[in-house]
Chain A
Amino acid sequence: MILMTRTARDDVALVAALRAGEESAFAELVDLHTPAMLRVARGYVRSHEIAEEVVQETWIALLKGIGSFEGRSSLRTWLFTILINIAKRRGVRERRDADVAVLAFTGGVVDPARFRGSDDEYPGHWLPSEVPSPFPDTPEGSVLGDELIALARRELDKLPERQRVVVTMRDMLGLDSSEVCELLAISVANQRVLLHRGRSAVRQVLEDYLRETT
Chain B
Amino acid sequence: MTSGSMDCNELVELVTAYLDGSLAAEDRARFDLHLLECDGCENYLQQFRVTVDTFGKIPPDAIDPAFRNRLMGAFRDWR
Residues of A within 8 A of B (CB): 2, 21, 23, 26-27, 30-31, 34-36, 38-39, 52, 55-56, 59-60, 63-64, 108-110, 112, 115, 122-126, 131-135, 140, 145, 148-149, 152-153, 156, 167, 171-172, 174, 177, 188, 192, 195-196, 199-200, 202-203, 206-207
Residues of B within 8 A of A (CB): 7-10, 12-13, 15-17, 20, 22, 38-41, 43-44, 46-48, 50-52, 54-64, 67-68, 70-72, 74-76, 78-79
Known A21-B79, A133-B43; contact A56-B70, beta-carbon cutoff 8 A? yes
Number of A-B contacts (CB under 8 A): 137
Give chain A nearest CB distance to B30 CB in angstroms: 13
A196 to B26, CA, bound (A): 20
Give chain B nearest CB distance to A42 CB in angstroms: 9
**Is the beta-carbon distance between B47 and A135 smaller than 8 angstroms?**
yes
Tell me the nearest residue of chain A to B50, going by C-beta.
A135
Tell me the nearest residue of chain A to B17, going by C-beta.
A192
A199 to B49, CA, bound (A): 10
**Is the beta-carbon distance between A206 and B78 smaller than 8 angstroms?**
no
Give chain B nearest CB distance to A101 CB in angstroms: 18
Known A60-B78, A135-B47, A207-B47; contact A108-B55, beta-carbon cutoff 8 A? no
